[in-house]
Amino acid sequence: MPAVPPGAGLLPVLPALRDLLPGGGLARGTVVTVPEFGLLCLALAAGASAAGAWCAIAGIPEAGLAAATGLGLDPGRTLLVPGPGGSWPQVVASLLDGCELVMVRPPSGAPAHVTRRLGARLRRGHGVLLVAGDWPGAQVCLRVAGRDWTGLGRGHGRLRACRALVTAEGRGQAAGPRARWLWLPAEDGSVAVADPGLAPPAGIPALPAAATG
C-alpha cells in the first residue's frame, strides 16, 4: 500500500494549503468543495498524490494534467474518467473503493438522496471526495475570492504569477472562516504562501481583521 500516514485520518496537502484546512489536511471520509474547477482543485489533489495516494478525476475532461503534475500530482497514480455521464454516482462510488481522493464535477445538480448515499459510503471508507461544484453537507468549502495576475501588460509581457485570496469555511471543527493569500501559481508553477504585507490589489475587498488571523 502507498505510504500515506493513516495516523491522523488526514490526507496530506501541499504546505501552503495547510493553514486553510482544519487539522492541516483533508480529513478522510469527508466532502470538500470548490465552487469552480481550477488550479485550487488540482493543488488540493496534488499534495495527496505526491504523498502516495491514488487520485481519480471524474467528469472534468478539461483538467490540465500538465499543471497538476507541475504541482506534484503523480500521473502514474491517477485515473481519469472524463465522461461518467448520468451514472456518475455509481462511478464515484466505484472510484472511492480504489482511490483515496476522488475529484468530481457532477454533470447536473446532485440530488439529496445521491449525496446522502455517497456520504454514507465515504464515511465507511478512507477516501476524500473533492467536488468542483455544489454539495449540500460538505464539511469544508474552499473558494478563490479574488485574483491578481502579474506580468501581463497591455500588449506586452506574459502571465507570470497570480496572487489569489483563498477562503475556507466549514462546519463543526472547520467552522469559522479562514483566508490566506497564496501564489496560485507562483512564478515557478508551484503554490506558495504570498506575503500578507502586500496591499490587496484594487477591486478586491480588504479582509476583515478577524478572518486574516
Partner 1 sequence: MTAPQRVMVVRCPGLCPPPGAGPGRGAARPFQRALAALAGFCPAVEVTEPGACAFAARGPARHAGGEAALAAKVVAALAGLGVGCRVGVADGLFAAACAARATEGDGTVHIVPPGQAAAFLARLPVSELGDPGLAGLLRRLGLRTLGDFAALPAGDVVGRFGAAGEAAHRLARGRDARQVTARPPDADLSVAWQFDPPEPLAEPVVFAAKALAERMHAGLAGRGLACARVRVQVGWAGGRESSRLWRHDGLLSAVQVADRVRWQLDGDQEAGPGDERADGGITVLRLVPDQVTRATGHQLALWGEPVVSDRAARAALQVQAMLGQHAVLRPLPQGGRNVSEQVTYVTFGIKRQPGLAGGREARPWPGRIPGAAPAVVYPEPPEAAVTDAAGRAVTVTGRCAVSAAPAALAIGGEPPRPVTGWAGPWPLSERWWDPAAASRRARFQLLTGDGRAWLAAVQGGRWLIEAGYL
Chain residues that interact with partner 1, rule: CB under 8 A: 1-2, 36-39, 41-42, 54, 56, 61-70, 75-85, 87, 90-91, 94-99, 146-149, 151-162, 185-189, 203-204
Grid cell for residue 55: 487520485
Between strands 55-58 and 78-81, the pairing is parallel
Q: How far apart are CA 55 and CA 91, in angstroms?
A: 14
Vertex 100 angle, CA 124 and 132, to 5°: 100
Closest distance to partner 1 from the beta carbon of 145 (Å)? 10
Block residue for cell numbers 478577524: 210
Residue 63 buriedness (CB in 10 A; 0-12 / 13-18 / 19+): buried
Closest distance to partner 1 from the beta carbon of 206 (Å)? 16
Nearer to partner 1, 21 or 42 (CB): 42
Nearer to partner 1, 58 or 174 (CB): 58
Nearer to partner 1, 5 or 157 (CB): 157
Closest distance to partner 1 from the beta carbon of 176 (Å)? 25
Closest distance to partner 1 from the beta carbon of 43 (Å)? 9
